[in-house]
Amino acid sequence: MPDTIKNPKLKKIIQWALLVILTGILAVSLYIFVGKLESLRLRGYIRGHFRHQTAVQKITPDQIRGWMTFRYVNMVFGMPPAYLQNSLNIKDSHYPNISLDALAKQQKLSSVQMLAKTAAAVKSFTIKPNP
């Protein structure tokens, strides 16, 4: 393929401009990809890497507390991300990153009522036999 640009300075400028444009496109694409990936993680479709997984202790459903988020409860009891959302009919867009107390306040329930409903749903999940 013949070289059509004779001026070496112009050729260098064009090469640098193309490099800058391609780098910008790559950076924007990476930014969008990471944003979509984080959105999927926050919605519970993908799990993040838990560095301190051994720090999570096994608890019983009666030990669930209002400060816990639904993400944490799902993780501790090994439930699918959408299980509590479906069984408790949670419509809040912040699920699973909302605490039980915060959701109770939104739904005009007492903390005790929310804890009881959540514990019952967890017990129902853990009692079901695996097919």
8 Å CB contact between 114 and 66: yes
> Can you point out the beta strands (E) in the chain?
none
How far apart (Å, rounded) are the C-alpha atoms in residues 73 and 122? 9
Share above pLDDT 90 across residues of the chain, in percent, rounded to a whole number: 54
How far apart (Å, rounded) are the C-alpha atoms in residues 63 and 15? 63
Give the tens place of pLDDT for each residue, 92-122: 888 999 999 999 999 999 999 999 999 999 9
| For residues 47-51, average pLDDT | 58
pLDDT at residue 129 greater than cutoff 60: no
pTM: 0.55
Q: What pLDDT, on the 0 to 100 scale, is given for residue 1?
A: 45
